[in-house]
Amino acid sequence: QDPFDTGGFATSSLIWANTTTIGGIFASPQCSPLFGANVIYLPYCSSDAFMSSATASPETFNMNFQGASIIDAVLNELLETHGLLEQTDTGNNDGSSDGESDNNSNDDSERPLLILSGYSAGGRGVMVNLDRVANQLKNRTEDGVDVYGVLDSVVWLETVNGLVTDKKNSTVLASDLYDISAENIDPDCFQVHATELWKCIFSEFRLKFLETPYTILGSQNDLSLEEDTANDFVTSPQDAVEEAESGRVIDSRSDIAEQTLGILIDLKEQRPELTVYSPACNTHTYTWSTRFLDFVTNGDNSTTMRIAVEKGLEKAFGVARPRIVDACPEVCNFSPFNGEAAGTEPRPFSFEDGFYFDRCEFGRSCGPCDFYEDAEVSGEAVMAAAQEAEE
């Protein structure tokens, strides 16, 4: 953010409204184990993807980049003011004490659960801070806190069609502003990429080093990556005309999809306990919208992103809370996409559990994506659109 363009309010929330409306993971239905959870929404204004604790200096253009400090402050508020510390001391989710039986209990299911979730820059912030937050809670609490991550639309690519992406270049520049050290970054990543520390805040290289369990959501055709690549080609109106008539954008979409799915397959093979969800929509971010609650892929046709996260939680921490099944909305399993998968098959992989993706020709949208024009479309509207298309 340019402080001149923002009237001096870059890296500040002073010009924000007092309230906002948001859905998705923040509005889980009664059938979900996430229903009724305490929710903290942390809007993004630090301009550092929640990675830095850098104070204003000439090196930072006299701007503060305090995203990691904001996370620490919120975590401390939860522990000290909102009862999280008391819950960990008693071993009960309701903060009560049952005497000797609880004091001697090591039942993991009794520990509080903290889900650290983020989308886009916030998701990359979760990626960088997830293990750090888990270790902080382990060190500060008596019985511990179960920590789980939900990373939405975080996959960035170093190159597309042989060209270095703006995302790689901006990360290299940003890494000079951030406090990248072995204390703040996974020690193994720090050691492997000691001469290129920017890779430890770049998802293509960092994801495999995370130790805390998580679910990763990300489109094979992430709109953010496509726009980044298009900017490399288009520098004038004439470029835009020529680009529209060429195949380079289509080739880039195909390369983005193939690379993204390849990264996720590699990740799942290395960390089989993780949950991966990758639709083929040409869009960016899901967890805040209705898509998180009612979207399905054509390779599965029954598991929504919400359910995928819940399955990941069950795998990581055991039995989920009872669900009121009748309270859940129907998913978008309408007839044009009845589970018959078609399209380009990725390289063979040996796992089936916990990997959900659209089977499409690389670079093309397919499945329910075609009926989502924007993130605000509801499940009912999608059903109506599908029925109209059939007619």
What would the DSSP string read from start to end of 222-283? -HHHHHHHHHHH-SSHHHHHHHHHSSHHHHHHHHHHHHHHHHHHHHHHH-TTSEEEE---S-
Predicted pLDDT of residue 115? 94
- pLDDT value of position 363: 79
The arrangement of strands across the sheet holding 355-357 comes to: 113-119, 146-152, 214-217, 275-278, 355-357
Q: Is 276 part of any domain?
A: yes
DSSP state of 209: G
Q: Residue 116 domain-assigned?
A: yes
* DSSP conformation letters of 59-71: GGTT--B-HHHHH
Residue 249 has a pLDDT of 56
How many whole angstroms separate alpha carbon 293 and alpha carbon 23? 9
Per-residue pLDDT tens listing for the chain (391 residues): 444 455 456 667 777 788 888 889 998 888 888 888 889 998 888 888 888 888 888 878 788 888 889 999 999 999 989 888 888 765 444 433 343 333 334 455 578 899 999 999 999 999 999 999 999 999 888 778 999 999 999 999 999 888 888 899 989 988 877 766 666 678 889 889 989 999 999 999 999 999 999 999 999 989 888 777 655 544 444 544 455 555 555 578 888 999 999 999 999 999 999 999 999 888 899 999 888 988 888 777 778 899 999 999 999 987 565 555 555 666 654 334 433 444 556 666 666 689 998 887 887 877 667 555 433 334 444 344 445 544 4
Domain extent, residue 140, equals 110-328+348-388
Helix (H, G, I), strand (E, B) or coil at 173: helix
Does any domain span residue 33? no
- Which residue type occupies 299? G
Residue 100: predicted pLDDT: 36
pLDDT of residue 381: 44
- pLDDT at 125 (0 to 100): 93
Q: So what's the pLDDT on residue 221?
A: 87
Residue that the structure tokens 């500040």 belong to: 12
Q: Give the pLDDT score at 327.
A: 59
- Look at residue 10 in the predicted model and tell me its pLDDT: 64
Q: Are 8 and 274 in contact (CB under 8 A)?
A: no
What is the total count of domains within the chain? Answer: 1
Would residue 78 count as lying in a domain?
no
With respect to residue 241, please indicate whether it lies within any of the assigned structural domains.
yes
At 91 the pLDDT is 42
> 248-252: which pairs have CB atoms within 8 A and are 24 or more residues apart?
248/161, 250/363, 251/161, 251/363, 252/160, 252/161, 252/226, 252/363
**187 domain-assigned:** yes
- Is 341 part of a structural domain of the chain? no
Q: What local confidence, expressed as pLDDT, does residue 57 receive?
A: 83
8-state DSSP, 331: P
Kindly report the number of other CB atoms within 10 A of residue 156's CB atom.
24
pLDDT of residue 229: 67
Which is nearest to 316 in space by CA: 274, 278, 265, 352? 274
Instruction: Please check whether residue 243 lies inside any domain of the structure.
Output: yes
**Residue 338 confidence (pLDDT):** 39
Helix or strand holding residue 118 (H, E):
strand 113-119
